[in-house]
Structure 1
């Protein structure tokens, strides 16, 4: 029977990039709305930061369970639910008039929505349809979609806020989020069991991963990525304003990070097919610490901000195709959504603390310097963690390959 056009692998890749572009790009704009939400709802800066932190934590906590649902019932259903929740959460923020509505819309609904439309589910769908010899590259292309959304949506959102106000911008974003519902058909399906290769139960797969030294190191290391990304995405605009630069400079800085991460994610995916992913990850985290350290020492001018944004953008989500690729490489694709979801939970625990600590630092110290220093130390820690990861396929896959 002839395959419908929307199930073509290349169409699925485009749909995956679009979903991640919207899912990751929309949530990255939240830092631009902190002042708007503070004035319209009376919520403190640290309270709004806590809501964003809770969103990150809930995203991570729900991701393994959503991954299990996708592995069992298919990715498409999860994406439809995620798109609807995303639109509802953003619409609630448009009409928010109390801290409770901020926490329900921006924290609860958007947190659940991102879990159902995020990297583990979408990249697992891409891994199923990608040619095996191009899998790492395709994962990099799809991951770059998240940055394309950031690059396009951040400056556009700031312009919309300046022109139409925060509430109308939230409604526009809610309409954009609903596009993800229409992408679900191209990514529908679930991995098929292959006898002798990955015919194991979900509980057995989780048990196998929990005893694997490399999986544990990968999970702990991804905490650092979440801390870095959430802190910078949430608080870089405010930090730039505190350095007496225009607010639009902060929005543009995040947009530049998104643009350069398109290059970084695609390059990481390509390099991951040629070199050992764990060494590339160590290099990325080491480079993050170096870039942050130089940024702290440099005078805060617009050219310095652009240079920092471009440099950190190359390192922003380049960890994702490598980390997800390692999970698939070590354990196979059968339960990749679930296992990468567990790793992603650690990422989001880090994101919780990155977003929250930034707000606490402002409220209690008047600046962000303490969190920048923590970010440098965590980057060095993650670089050391990834180097010794055991990245060979588990014995189950090796034995099946030998028999084949």
Structure 2
């Protein structure tokens, strides 16, 4: 059975929650507004929607691909060092996003660099510290608090970003956000551990942990569900403003919608984390994915008005990142906290593969058909798949007593 892991030395739960929540608020808050840069950038640069969408897709894929590496480094050398690197890369990527005029360099800055930065400044890294600091019976709740902070970042940053674009111009707005990203650095210092995270670890090596996880059916099913999560939320987050504009609704409607998504996501992620302490997490995850599919069906079925958009935003916002606390809590529950950042990074990689497809197909199929209808249908069908995939997940700690893992 899993051996309980000692808490991270020198850190309190309150300290980790405060610093971690503020970091996630910044890192997630900035990225949730990228959809508002689509129209001004492609207009000034003379690009298509697919050009911008491809860069955002690469960003999500880079985030996912770098996630396991960032998690492995955080587990081995300490999360705060990875967070500092992530903050620096975030600021540089935003500057490149502002000054580049070529699609390739835009993709390298807005796509690759910001994606790598997000891998070192968001949930997987913060959850690794939380997993080593918070007792197992409170992990789901703590993960919910951190996820709610990221949701609050979306709620708070969306109006700020749209205001900056309108009053300072889209390039200046990116420079100011780059400055804000540097605040991650001093916050990361509040998560310094007295010794490397692996110093308190058990006997399991990285190779053993990976073979164990990828050979475990429940881990595979969690990855499948997270793939769907990424497809849905990033497609909606990036393309909803343009979808609404295409249907004659103004910027104030899309701004209000994304603000509502962020606001209700605060409640949704916290609720999911709290309910994960009392109910089977696999049932929560299945319900979340199923309700997402229902919400999209209703949204597409009723007349599109500001009211219907706001209602949809509130509902989908409540379900937006509510998958994050129970998914990561199940991973910690099954495998323990020793390699949590790394394993969480691999699960998140599947999320980002879905994100890549969601945001890229949104632009690709729009340019090909003049409509987002096909991608909406895919989001519905995948929601049903994810609902069914999470039902057989086993949440109990893996039994290592009967297996001798090779080195």
For residues 35 and 42 of structure 1, what CA distance do their matches in structure 2 show?
10
For 1:8-62, what per-residue CA distance to the aligned partner results, in whole angstroms no more than 9, with x for missing partners? 3212201111111111111111110011211233322101100000000010011
Q: Structure 1 residue 298: deviation in Å?
A: 1.0
SS of the equivalent of 2:151 reads helix
Alignment of 1:356-367 (within 5 A): 356-367=360-371
For residues 394 and 188 of structure 1, what CA distance do their matches in structure 2 show?
30
For 1:268-296, what per-residue CA distance to the aligned partner results, in whole angstroms no more than 9, with x for missing partners? 00000101101100000000000000000
SS of the equivalent of 2:32 reads helix
Q: Which residue of 1 aligns with 2:97?
A: 93
Q: Which residue of 1 aligns with 2:147?
A: 143
What's the TM-score, normalizing by structure 1? 0.94
Counterpart of 2:391 (choices 384, 387, 392) is 387
For residues 142 and 187 of structure 1, what CA distance do their matches in structure 2 show?
14
For 1:318-359, what per-residue CA distance to the aligned partner results, in whole angstroms no more than 9, with x for missing partners? 000010000000000000001111100000000000000110
Q: Structure 1 residue 72: deviation in Å?
A: 0.8
- Counterpart check, 1:111 vs 2:111: no
For 1:158-187, what per-residue CA distance to the aligned partner results, in whole angstroms no more than 9, with x for missing partners? 111111110011011101111111111122
For residues 398 and 341 of structure 1, what CA distance do their matches in structure 2 show?
27
Kindly indicate whether the alpha-carbon contact (under 8 Å) linking 1:226 and 1:347 is maintained by their aligned counterparts in 2.
yes
RMSD over aligned CA atoms reads 1.5
For 1:177-201, what per-residue CA distance to the aligned partner results, in whole angstroms no more than 9, with x for missing partners? 1111111112233435667xx4211
Kindly indicate whether the alpha-carbon contact (under 8 Å) linking 1:154 and 1:255 is maintained by their aligned counterparts in 2.
yes
Q: Which residue of 1 aligns with 2:273?
A: 269
Q: Which residue of 2 aligns with 1:3?
A: none
Point out where structure 2 has 5 or more consecutive residues left out of the alignment: 1-9
Counterpart of 1:180 (choices 178, 184, 188) is 184
- Counterpart check, 1:203 vs 2:207: yes
For residues 218 and 8 of structure 1, what CA distance do their matches in structure 2 show?
30
Counterpart of 1:129 (choices 133, 150, 170) is 133
Kindly indicate whether the alpha-carbon contact (under 8 Å) linking 1:253 and 1:306 is maintained by their aligned counterparts in 2.
yes
Q: Which residue of 1 aligns with 2:227?
A: 223
- Counterpart check, 1:191 vs 2:197: yes
Q: Structure 1 residue 117: deviation in Å?
A: 0.8
Q: Structure 1 residue 63: deviation in Å?
A: 0.3
For residues 281 and 16 of structure 2, what CA distance do their matches in structure 1 show?
25
Alignment of 1:4-403 (within 5 A): 7-189=11-193, 190-192=196-198, 198-396=202-400
For residues 320 and 249 of structure 1, what CA distance do their matches in structure 2 show?
27
Going from structure 1 to structure 2, the CA distance change for 1:77 and 1:134 (only over 3 Å counts) comes to: same
What's the TM-score, normalizing by structure 2? 0.93
Kindly indicate whether the alpha-carbon contact (under 8 Å) linking 2:75 and 2:128 is maintained by their aligned counterparts in 1.
no
Point out where structure 1 has 5 or more consecutive residues left out of the alignment: 1-5, 400-404
Q: Structure 1 residue 132: deviation in Å?
A: 3.3
Kindly indicate whether the alpha-carbon contact (under 8 Å) linking 2:198 and 2:338 is maintained by their aligned counterparts in 1.
yes
For residues 207 and 321 of structure 1, what CA distance do their matches in structure 2 show?
24
For residues 48 and 21 of structure 2, what CA distance do their matches in structure 1 show?
35
Q: Structure 1 residue 95: deviation in Å?
A: 1.6
As a proportion of its length, which structure holds more helix?
1
- After alignment, is 180-189 or 231-240 more displaced? 180-189
Going from structure 1 to structure 2, the CA distance change for 1:270 and 1:398 (only over 3 Å counts) comes to: farther
Kindly indicate whether the alpha-carbon contact (under 8 Å) linking 2:77 and 2:197 is maintained by their aligned counterparts in 1.
no
> Which consecutive aligned stretches of 4+ in structure 1 deviate over 6 angstroms post-superposition?
none
Q: Structure 1 residue 148: deviation in Å?
A: 0.7
Going from structure 1 to structure 2, the CA distance change for 1:390 and 1:133 (only over 3 Å counts) comes to: closer
Count, aligned residues = 392
